[in-house]
Amino acid sequence: MVQERPVSNEVRVLKVVLVSTYDLGHQPLGLASPAAWLRERGHEVVCADLAVNALPSLEVREADAVGFFLPMHTATRLAVDVIGKVKLLNPRARLLAYGLYAPLNGDYLRELGVDSALGGEYEQLLAEALESPAGARVAMDRLPFRQPDRTSLPVLSRYSKLHVNGSVHAVAYTEASRGCKHMCRHCPVVPVYQGRFRVVPAEVVLADIRGQIAGGATHVTFGDPDFFNGPTHAMRILKSLHGEFPAVTYDVTIKVEHLLRHSNLLPVLKETGCLFVTTAVESVDDRILEKLDKGHTRADFLEVAGLVRELGLTLAPTFIPFTPWTTREGYLELLRTVAGLGLVANIAPVQLALRLLIPAGSRLLELPEIRQVETGFDRAALLHRWRHPDPQVDALAARVLGLVNSAQKKGWPREDIFAAVWEAASDQPPPENYRLLPRAAIPYMDEPWYC
């Protein structure tokens, strides 16, 4: 059961609007979880997901406080304009920001009028900050988690869908853990969590999933940065979920390193309904993987691809193709590797176009090579700008990104986009046999993964 806590008679009831601008097509857990905490304390909470609905102007005008959920770079960039609109609608409302990107950009957010920038285990911080200003704070306390309250969010049918074998499924989203025990240099989780992670009690996770299944979900996305940070905890949840809802499928995100270390658990994933595993490969160049402190090698990725294929699972690798260490030949080797493994249809085309993003507080800034190419922090863009030592590689990155964006808008198949990207990078024809599987055979979400 979810732990209950009595509402203090000393807490003044406030009208609060919680705002999400973008959350990868999911019904935002980052609204539902704090909503449960705040409603428990007696506050009136309106959840506004601007990826689905317009900003609720009337509720904003009447609000005592407005909180912005900032889990990633794109969400934060979008929130900057919304903060200005909220200030015009209601100059007296207190503004708060919470999520990974809030404390990382606390100074800039305060310049925009935000009172408190909260990160880590933010629910209790948010509740306390409503009653007294908190400035910039990160909390790692182990929280007595509440079941997220999704009652005022748009229905699941309005969010990203799972496509598999021609059928379309509503998708639940939850997290069995937060943070990560690893210290990958490029990851935005690291500056906040510093190698720590926190598990969410299984009964809370399962209660959240039950509610979303009742709302029509037949598939679950576990959004943990790494589902195998706590493999025993993860397996307990999966076995309970499958025992109660044997027809419900799911997907998870797991590091290459953990897929190898816990390879004995991969058959359990298949048996309990896992459709695909997302894994952050980032590069097939061992030198770049070492710079990013990824904890795996090219050979490890190739081995994992084979293990997953043998089990009949789908692997969905993600990449950062363009870094200060990328060469044109290295980029072509990435394309050759993807084609050779038969993974062209598994990969969202934007994964072939991403350029290394260096947010505030990034461990990448520890590297002398990064400091040499870094050209300054762009506060409005929320990132450190950098130039590749070879201007032709930067030109290739821009060309590939433009090509991918244009082709996706036109609805091109992934295989055709891959061929076009190859032709942009090489004067040779693409590898043979890269069209191994029809697109319909690969389960995928209709919201492209981004950041």
Residue 245, pLDDT > 60, answer yes
**pLDDT score at 136:** 64
Residue 156, pLDDT > 80, answer yes
Residue 428: pLDDT band by 50, 70, 90 thresholds?
confident
**pLDDT score at 135:** 62
pLDDT exceeding 90 applies to what percent of the chain? 88
Q: What integer is the mean pLDDT of 66-76?
A: 97
Segment among 222-236, 326-340, 429-443 with least mean pLDDT: 429-443
- pLDDT tens-place string over residues 275-324: 999 999 999 999 999 999 999 999 999 999 999 999 999 999 999 999 99
SS3 assignment for the chain: CCCCCCCCCCCCCCEEEEEECCCCCCCCHHHHHHHHHHHHCCCEEEEEECCCCCCCHHHHHHCCEEEEECCCHHHHHHHHHHHHHHHHHCCCCEEEEECCHHHHCHHHHHHCCCCEEEEECHHHHHHHHHHCCCCEEEECCCCCCCCCCCCCCCCHHHCCEEEECCEEEEEEEECCEEECCCCCCCCCHHHHHCCCEEECCHHHHHHHHHHHHHCCCCEEEECCCCCCCCHHHHHHHHHHHHHHCCCCEEEEECCHHHHHHCHHHHHHHHHCCEEEEEEEEECCCHHHHHHHCCCCCHHHHHHHHHHHHHHCCEEEEEECCECCCCCHHHHHHHHHHHHHCCCHHHCCHHHHCCECCCCCCCHHHHCHHHHHHEEEEECCCCEEEECCCCHHHHHHHHHHHHHHHHHHHCCCCHHHHHHHHHHHHCCCCCCCCCCCCCHHHCCEECCCCCC
Residue 12: pLDDT band by 50, 70, 90 thresholds?
confident
**pLDDT score at 143:** 83
**pLDDT score at 2:** 37
- pLDDT tens-place string over residues 83-131: 999 999 999 999 999 999 999 999 999 999 999 999 999 999 999 998 7
**pLDDT score at 439:** 55
- pLDDT tens-place string over residues 164-181: 998 999 999 999 999 999
Q: What integer is the mean pLDDT of 341-359?
A: 95
Residue 7: pLDDT band by 50, 70, 90 thresholds?
very low
**pLDDT score at 352:** 97
Q: For all residues of the chain together, what is the average pLDDT?
A: 93
pLDDT exceeding 70 applies to what percent of the chain? 94
Residue 440: pLDDT band by 50, 70, 90 thresholds?
low
Residue 1, pLDDT > 50, answer no
Segment among 6-10, 293-297, 380-384 with least mean pLDDT: 6-10
Residue 6: pLDDT band by 50, 70, 90 thresholds?
very low
